[in-house]
């Protein structure tokens, strides 16, 4: 038995995920946090810090910087410098800051996508040029032809999600080089959200930070990363932007000003412990998630009216239910006690997103309930 099989009763503490359907016979499988305890090294470091009992304003310490630098080098062979780091309490805030910090009237991104890729440019008063992802070899990739057709001279920023949420594409070196060439040709900065980078589930895929590909891409990219998805510490609100270009970093920091507070003290403690000592736990987590994904794949394979692409990363499965011809696949499965994410928020109401970052017994129950819904359809 894996430590990830340990059931954690999350109904006893408040959480967005479980509170949404409180008191109802619905298993929540929506928002992107997992039902696993964080690594023991993180829990112990937090306990030790909490015992001190004083929680005053706290800056990020040198050891934490070093832990991040070493993690980036170890996992992505990317040598970053301490000065490039800007800490924020969340990646969504950083996306909003990036959209405000980079000039231009419009922002290009892709769709369907995590909703904040569309919301953040709008908050910044930018028009959104959303290009549909293209399916190729059972995975999503960029439609460069459509991108070339829709780019405008006033567009100055490309918002990239890598690995991709939803559908879990891990972009290859070739795809990223082509995207990089497109952005350089059109003089676009890149805001690359790589929050799911550490959760690669497929041996043949490898995460490559786009900024690590060339000095030119390093200079035009704001990379957003966090330990939150990886080590299940989203509630601790700790993330960082990596911005090598001095003037871009200055604009990012000026935009933050004093409106956006920095990183949470306990978040710093958790991040340091996770990056220093969490590698073995993370390797086990990836194996566990990969096995969970197989269960989801087997369920979809049994139901030809559902479709799943070849998912390479993340614990979020994007299920295309358009062949069901129901008004709302989200409502359809909810009736059978499964609280998925509604694809509508991502740009496709015929899809649902299933969070399989949970104990296998619970995942089996979720899939059994979904199977009942499917069997009911046939009757
Ligand atoms: C691609 C992506 N970016 C950002 C976030 C949220 O990041 P944060 O909680 O740090 O704001 C999520 C959460 O699901 C995500 O999937």
Whether pLDDT at 359 is above 80: yes
CATH dotted code for 44-277:
3.40.640.10
Distance CA 113, CA 347 (A): 7
The Cα–Cα gap between 202 and 172 comes to: 13
**CA–CA separation, 163 vs 378, rounded Å?**
35
Q: What is the pLDDT of residues 3-48, one digit of tens each?
A: 999 999 999 999 999 999 999 999 999 999 999 999 999 999 999 9
Q: Is the pTM of this model over 0.95?
A: yes
Q: Where in the chain is the domain with CATH 3.90.1150.10?
A: 3-38+279-378
- For the chain, how long is the longest CA-to-CA vector? 63
> Which is nearest to 199 in space by CA: 363, 69, 32, 37?
32
Smallest CA separation from ligand 1 atom 9, residue: 90
- Mean local confidence (pLDDT), 54-82: 97
Separation CA 375–CA 379 (nearest Å): 7
Q: Do the beta carbons of residue 86 and residue 241 sit within 8 Å?
A: yes
Q: Band of the pLDDT at 89, cuts 50, 70, 90? A: very high
Asked whether 195 lines ligand 1 (CB < 6 A), one says: yes
Q: What is the pLDDT of residue 160?
A: 98
Q: What does the alpha-carbon distance between residue 224 and residue 98 come to, in Å, rounded to a whole number? A: 10
| pLDDT score of 182 | 98
Average pLDDT over residues 118-129: 97
- Mean of pLDDT values over 84-101: 97
Q: What is the mean pLDDT of residues 94-123?
A: 97
Average model confidence (pLDDT) across the chain = 96
For residues 201 and 191, give the distance between their C-alpha atoms in angstroms, rounded to a whole number: 24
In this structure, the dihedral spanned by the alpha carbons of residues 307, 310, 313 and 316, taken in order and rounded to 10 degrees, is 0
Residues 6+ apart with CB under 8 A from 51: none
> Is the C-beta atom of 193 inside 6 A of ligand 1?
yes
Query: How many angstroms separate the CA atoms of 12 and 28, rounded?
Result: 15
Q: What is the pLDDT of residues 281-319, one digit of tens each?
A: 999 999 999 999 999 999 999 999 999 999 999 999 999
The pair of three-digit structure tokens given for residue 312, joined into one six-digit string: 């390479």
Q: Is the Cβ–Cβ distance between 330 and 352 less than 8 Å?
A: yes
Candidates 211, 259, 229, 233; CA nearest to 96 is 259
Give the phi and the psi of residue 238 in degrees, each rounded to 5: -140, 120
Question: Distance of CA 345 to CAs 132, 142, 155, Å?
Answer: 15, 20, 24
Cβ of 238 less than 6 Å from ligand 1: no
Which tens digits make up the pLDDT trace of 320-331? 999 999 999 999
**Is residue 84 predicted with pLDDT exceeding 90?**
yes
For residue 379, what pLDDT is reported?
59
Strand partners, 156: none
Minimal-distance CA residue to ligand 1 atom 7: 91
What is the predicted pLDDT for the residue at 377? 86
Percentage of residues of the chain with pLDDT beyond 70? 99
How many Å lie between the centroid of ligand 1 and the Cα of residue 95?
10
Residue identifier of the C-alpha nearest atom 13 of ligand 1: 32
Q: Residue 229: exposed, middle, or buried by beta-carbon count in 10 A (0-12, 13-18, 19+)? A: buried
163-189 average pLDDT score: 97
Contact indicator for 28, 18 with CB cutoff of 8 Å: yes
H/E segment holding residue 69:
helix 62-76
Quickly state the pLDDT bin for 262 (edges 50, 70, 90).
confident
Q: How far is CA 71 from CA 98, 226, 234, 315, in A?
A: 24, 11, 19, 21
228 lines ligand 1 (CB under 6 A): yes
**Tell me, which fold does domain 3-38+279-378 have in CATH?**
3.90.1150
pLDDT score of 260: 83
Give the span between the Cα atoms of 239 and 242, in whole angstroms.
10
Inform me whether the pLDDT recorded for 216 exceeds 90: yes
Q: Calculate how far, in angstroms, residue 234's C-alpha sits from the geometric centre of ligand 1.
A: 9
- 373 phi/psi in degrees, rounded to 5: -60, -45
Atom nearest to 90 CA in ligand 1: 10
Instruction: Identify whether 166 is preceded by a cis peptide bond (ω within 30 of 0).
Output: yes
CA of 225 to the centre of ligand 1 (A): 9
Picking from 320, 357, 369, the residue whose alpha carbon sits closest to that of residue 17 is 357
For position 258, what pLDDT does the model report?
A: 77
- pLDDT per residue as tens digits for the range 360-379: 999 999 999 999 999 998 65
Whether pLDDT at 72 is above 70: yes
At 179 the pLDDT is 98
Task: Please give the distance, rounded to the nearest whole angstrom, from the Cα atom of residue 235 to the centre of ligand 1.
Answer: 11
- Please identify, by atom number, the ligand 1 atom nearest to the C-alpha of residue 32: 14
**Residue ranges matching CATH 3.40.640.10 in the chain:** 44-277
Whether residue 203 is predicted with pLDDT greater than 90 in this model: the reply is no
The token duo for 267 is 């978040």
Whether 120 lines ligand 1, by a CB cut-off of 6 Å, is: no
Q: Is 226 in the pocket of ligand 1 (CB under 6 A)?
A: yes
pLDDT in tens, 341-358: 999 999 999 999 999 999
């Amino acid at each position: 038995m894996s430590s990830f099989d340990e059931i954690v009763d999350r109904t006893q503490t408040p959480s967005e995920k479980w509170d949404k359907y409180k008191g109802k016979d619905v298993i929540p499988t929506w928002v992107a946090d997992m039902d696993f305890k964080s690594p023991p090294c993180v829990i112990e470091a937090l306990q030790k810090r909490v015992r001190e009992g004083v929680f005053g304003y706290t800056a990020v310490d040198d050891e934490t910087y070093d832990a991040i630098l070493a993690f980036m080098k170890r996992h992505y062979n990317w040598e970053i410098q301490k000065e490039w780091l800007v800490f924020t309490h969340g990646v969504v805030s950083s996306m909003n800051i990036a959209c405000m910090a980079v000039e231009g009237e419009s922002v290009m991104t892709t769709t369907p996508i995590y909703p904040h890729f569309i919301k953040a440019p709008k908050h910044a008063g930018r028009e959104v040029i959303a290009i549909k992802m293209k399916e190729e070899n059972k995975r999503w990739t960029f439609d460069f032809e459509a991108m070339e057709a829709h780019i405008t001279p006033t567009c100055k920023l490309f918002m990239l999600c890598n690995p991709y949420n939803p559908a879990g594409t891990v972009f290859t070196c070739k795809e990223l080089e082509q995207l990089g060439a497109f952005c350089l040709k059109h003089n676009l900065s890149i805001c690359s959200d790589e929050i799911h980078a550490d959760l690669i589930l497929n041996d043949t895929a490898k995460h490559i930070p786009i900024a690590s590909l060339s000095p030119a891409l390093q200079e035009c990219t704001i990379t957003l990363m966090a330990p939150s998805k990886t080590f299940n510490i989203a509630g601790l609100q700790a993330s960082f932007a990596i911005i090598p270009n001095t003037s871009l970093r200055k604009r990012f920091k000026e935009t933050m000003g004093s409106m956006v507070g920095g990183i949470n003290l306990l978040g710093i403690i958790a991040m340091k412990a996770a990056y220093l000592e969490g590698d073995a736990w993370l390797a086990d987590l990836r194996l566990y998630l990969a096995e969970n994904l197989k269960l989801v794949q087997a369920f979809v394979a049994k139901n030809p009216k559902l479709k799943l692409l070849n998912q390479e990363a993340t614990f979020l499965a994007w299920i295309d239910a358009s062949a069901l011809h129901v008004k709302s696949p989200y409502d359809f499965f909810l009736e059978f006690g499964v609280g998925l994410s509604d694809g509508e928020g991502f740009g496709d109401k015929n899809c649902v997103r299933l969070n399989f970052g949970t104990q296998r017994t619970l995942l089996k129950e979720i899939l059994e309930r979904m199977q009942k819904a499917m069997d009911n359809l046939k009757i």
